[in-house]
Amino acid sequence: MNAIAANELKTRGVSALDKGLQDAPEAMITVRGKNQYVVMRIEQYHYLREMELEAALLETRRDIENGNVVRESADVHVSRISKE
């Protein structure tokens, strides 16, 4: 993962990001030599979000297959979770 110093970002702006993301999907922004932030192209962000949603869907399907679900009305559900 490439690193971009905050000062470089301050002086060069978006062109520093373009350079940092030229050959990597993410780049680290460093502040005083310490990694502080991660930037990525929007395509990478959308890919990661899609993978996150796929993982949640897989987990939900697994819970349904294993019987780890509760079937109840919305009123009963709200009542139950407010007591927890």
Mapped onto helix, strand or coil, the DSSP state of residue 25 is coil
Quick one: pLDDT at residue 84? 79
Quick one: pLDDT at residue 83? 86
20-40 pLDDT, tens per residue?
Answer: 999 999 999 999 999 999 999
Token pair, residue 63, equals: 């819970």
Say how far apart CA 30 and CA 69 lie, in whole Å: 44
Domain residue limits, the chain: 2-40, 43-83
Say how far apart CA 59 and CA 44 lie, in whole Å: 23
| Residues above pLDDT 90, as percent of the chain | 94
Please state the rounded mean pLDDT for residues 63-68. Answer: 96
81's enclosing H/E stretch is helix 74-83
* Single-letter amino acid, residue 45: Y
1-24 pLDDT, tens per residue?
Answer: 899 999 999 999 999 999 999 999
The model scores a pTM over 0.95: no
DSSP characters over 43-70: HHHHHHHHHHHHHHHHHHHHHHHTT---
